[in-house]
Amino acid sequence: MKLDVDALRYLSKEDFRVLTAVEMGMRNHEIVPAELVERIAGLKHGGTYKVLRNLLKHKLVHHDSSKYDGYRLTYLGYDFLAIKALVNRGVFSSVGRQIGVGKESDIFEVATEDGTILAMKLHRLGRVSFRAVKSKRDYLLHRRSYNWLYLSRLAALKEFAFMKALGEHEFPVPRAVDCNRHCVVMSLVQGYPLVQVKQLQNPDEVFERIIGLVVRLAEHGLIHCDFNEFNIMIDDEEKVTMIDFPQMVSVSHRNAQMYFDRDTDCIFKFFSKRFHLSFHYDKKDGSDDSGSDLEEDGRPSFWSIEKSTGFLDKELAASGFTRKDQDEIEKFIEGDVRETVTSDDEDCANENQADNDVANAIVNILPCLQLVEKEASLDRENGDNTDEHPDISVTKEPKIAEIIHIGDEINGSDDDCGTGSEDGIPVLTKRLNRQRQRAVAAARGGRKAVVSRNSYKDKGGSKSSHNSKLQRQSCKLYS
């Protein structure tokens, strides 16, 4: 869509308020209902519909009434919101001509109040020429639902972060100025795309400089993934500047070697066809192939590059950077692992061992408690005939005493270790004490049956129904 900023100067605050309301509604709506737009905008005297008609005239929103009456933002409306925000910040004050177009973005010239010329890049994902974004890019990550405006915003944020970090590490990239929504403002590179250059004074030096950038990026943990003659700018002094960064990945990516080899192949093929350079690598006598950093045709080897300069993939959370890589980096930063365990670690180990001993003891005690409860239930079923079975009372008391003694030892060991019931295993210890009290009460015959508050109600059980039958029969006999 062509960017025509002439209508921008005629839009009022109410127009931008309604545009912002449609943008907010698109967070969870593909087509925002008109009632929701009116409720979010909050304009007085019902002026929302009048503003929507004005926005429709300038093609800033799209009206859809297939399922219900609703609106959605167009790329032009999203452009106006981003440009308005950047103008209010004072980043630039005017928009000029279009200087570049690609499958994912449009580039325009903008000027500040003092006359400095900058470049404004508007990401426009979803064009017919490039719609395989879900398989070609990693903007979505774990998300399933998306729209093109949101993907463009993610791409702009990612490119701004990479450009700013690479500029801080003195890479030849444009200076990142500001970013808002899907718009990135950067310094204007005074040069030409390498694809438009027909002759070079020193093609060998330029070639070595470009290949050195690929290797240097890999040493910092990043791979460009789209490093070709279209994304390399060169000026009259043959200084190289690289652009276009949203697709960069980490060297830990599963396809990192393929992307690295593809970048180097693009450069080798272009210089061999355009400037007729021949590449060959003469191995020295007695040199070992395993230690060589170059392949037979002089191309750099991915596995020979050491990631020792920096960890930009971790700082920028590049695609393919895993948790394992982060752990290895932390070990590398902290140094070698200590061989001896400190006193604090020993105390923690002793506490963990004590907790394990307590847990094992409780596991061994639980079967005994279950046996005691089973014996207590047998006593309740058979009645209080302790005279007929005197051996039951004799065998129960030692078990109960042994359980109480073991539980006291466990509680004592916890107190000695200083862990207590709070830092140890409070749930198991409370359960142990509760079962021990129940077992003692059942063995001594003092355990009371637990009666529910709703026991007077007939729940339809067999026992309650049998009792009701007996009551009816007794009533008939007395009558």
- Which residues are tagged catalytic? 226
Cα–Cα distance for residue pair 278/297, rounded to 1 Å: 9
Question: Residue 157 in contact with residue 151, Cβ under 8 Å?
Answer: no
Distance of CA 94 to the CA centre of its chain: 37
Q: What distance in Å separates the CA atoms of residue 348 and residue 366, rounded to the nearest whole number?
A: 27
Going by the DSSP 8-state scheme, the letter that residue 176 receives in this structure is: E
**Residue 366 near residue 438, CB atoms below 8 Å:** no
Dist. CA 124–CA 1, nearest whole Å: 9
Instruction: Indicate the Cα dihedral angle 146, 151, 157, 159, nearest 10°.
Output: 140
Contact by Cβ (8 Å): 181, 245: no
Q: What is the chain's Cα-based Rg?
A: 38
Distance CA 406, CA 400 (A): 10
Encoded tokens for 253: 């990516």
Distance between CA atoms of residues 464 and 466, nearest Å: 5
Under 8 Å between Cβ of 174 and 243: yes
DSSP code per residue over 330-397: HHHHH-SPPSSPPHHHHHHHHHHHHHHHHHHHHHHHHHHHHHHHHHHHHHHHH-S-TTT-HHHHHHHH
By the 10 Å C-beta count (0-12 exposed, 13-18 middle, 19+ buried), 107 is classed as middle
Find all residues with CB under 8 Å of 462, minimum gap 6, and list them.
Answer: none
Q: Kind and range of the H or E element at 71?
A: strand 70-73
Count of Cβ atoms closer than 10 Å to residue 372 Cβ: 21
The whole-angstrom separation of Cα 104 and Cα 121 is: 10
Structure tokens at 457: 């109600």
Phi and psi (nearest 5°) for 180?
Answer: -150, 125
Paired tokens of 186: 């950067």
